[in-house]
Structure 1
């Protein structure tokens, strides 16, 4: 009997604060045989809704490595995995895509190119909501964080979402 390839895929969700990565990942989790992994959600589960910068920084690497290993297990068990990690730096996108491809796992990059005005409105709604699995981000900090984001090159992404 031939063994059917039942592996899932990994999708890297790329985008700035409040561009819709988490919302999209949650939708895919409900609609497909998929799960999403979020570093923000994991750290908020561990430390509660107001972690210190020291707590976040000291556990980031361990949380990242844990979710990478978990993603491999999930994909090899037939699930698609949506990585809600932001991927703000081009080098981190290349590094993680290469990591999964070296593990024999298909990796795709979806970019959420959403205008600032829309993101600011989404961020306001998120801050007013009850979601304990997302950071509350001050409006002035959205632009600050945008300064760290490296726009993907034209050939870097497999799919782009706009407003």
Structure 2
């Protein structure tokens, strides 16, 4: 069955390295927004354009799954709602979604980010030491039920479905 591997974790966890390994092992299309942002927009944040880019990459991922191609989404997906919406959409096109959580401790994360910024600054975005603890408080670690791929559940209150929620989160998805 066609599979979407959804990379989950904080910056510096090793998601992109693991995504590359999975791409080779599963003949999968790897979609990593970080590799698109700087060439397209000249910077990593680009004033909200990352959400637009992620929406188009998600749309492309769904199309590839429909065509029978395995996909790796290397987004990070910090929120449970993002992961649930993606899992629901993947299921809706007849594919399976496998969450690949890559945890990282603070010191390893800090060291990897510093190394990346010193060796390939043109391929990465700046991250300050102050960002790291703030991001950890915003990251919703997947639990055992989510990692096992069990029931997605319904969308957050006020949303009629996951597709509507996702179109709001990623404006270019629809």
User: What TM-score does the superposition give when structure 1 sets the normalisation length?
Assistant: 0.80
Pick from 51, 72, 81: which aligns with 2:62?
72
Q: Is 2:163 the partner of 1:153?
A: no
Question: What is the aligned partner in structure 1 of residue 6 from structure 2?
Answer: 12
Q: Which residue does 1:61 correspond to in 2?
A: 51
Greater strand share, structure number: 1
The CA deviation at 1:131 is: 6.0
Q: Which has the higher helix share?
A: 2
* Match runs of 1:28-107 below 5 Å: 28-48=22-42, 50-51=43-44, 53=45, 55-57=46-48, 59-107=49-97
Give the deviation of 1:94 after TM superposition. Answer: 0.5
* In 2, Cα distance between equivalents of 1:102 and 1:32: 21
* Superposition TM-score, scaled by structure 2 size: 0.75
SS of equivalent to 2:130: helix
Distance 1:105 1:133, change over 3 A: farther
Of the structure 1 ranges 115-124 and 135-144, higher mean CA displacement relative to structure 2 is found in 135-144
Distance 1:134 1:158 in 2: 32
Q: Distance in 2 between matches of 1:132 and 1:79?
A: 31
Alignment length, in residue pairs? Answer: 149
Stretch of structure 1 that moved more, 138-147 or 102-111: 138-147
Runs of at least 5 residues in structure 1 that lack an aligned partner in the other structure: 1-6
Gaps of 5+ in 2: 150-174
Query: In the aligned structure 2, how far is the partner of 1:56 from the partner of 1:35?
Result: 27
